Amino acid sequence: MIDVRNVKKIYKIGQNVLNALDGVSLTIEEGEFCCIVGRSGSGKSTLLNLMAGLEPVSSGQIIIANKHVEKMNERELILFRQQNVGFVFQSYNLIPSMTALENTALPLTFRGVKKSVRLKAAREMLEAVGVGSHYKHKPSQMSGGQQQRVGLARALVLNPKIVFADEPTGNLDSKTSSEMMTLITRIMHERNQTFVMVTHDPTMAQYADKVVHILDGKITSIEKNEHPMQFEAPAAREA
Residues near ligand ADP (CB under 6 A) are 11, 13, 18, 20, 38, 40-46
Helices and strands, counts by H and E, the chain = 7, 10
The least distance separating ligand ADP from the CB of residue 184, rounded to whole angstroms, comes to 19
Is 87 in a helix, a strand, or coil?
A: strand
Cβ proximity to ligand ADP: between 38 and 107 the closer is 38
Cβ proximity to ligand ADP: between 191 and 213 the closer is 213
The least distance separating ligand ADP from the CB of residue 61, rounded to whole angstroms, comes to 19
Cβ proximity to ligand ADP: between 11 and 110 the closer is 11
Residues 150, 179: Cα–Cα separation, whole Å = 14
The least distance separating ligand ADP from the CB of residue 204, rounded to whole angstroms, comes to 14
3-state helix, strand, coil in the chain (%, to 5): 40, 30, 35
The least distance separating ligand ADP from the CB of residue 29, rounded to whole angstroms, comes to 23
The least distance separating ligand ADP from the CB of residue 205, rounded to whole angstroms, comes to 15
Residues 62, 122: Cα–Cα separation, whole Å = 31
End-to-end CA distance of the chain: 35
Element (H, E) at 48: helix 44-51
The least distance separating ligand ADP from the CB of residue 38, rounded to whole angstroms, comes to 5
Residues 191, 65: Cα–Cα separation, whole Å = 17
Cβ proximity to ligand ADP: between 49 and 130 the closer is 49
Q: Which residues pair with 196 in a beta bridge?
A: 34, 164
The single-letter DSSP state of residue 142 is: S
Cβ proximity to ligand ADP: between 70 and 232 the closer is 70
Residues 17, 19: Cα–Cα separation, whole Å = 7
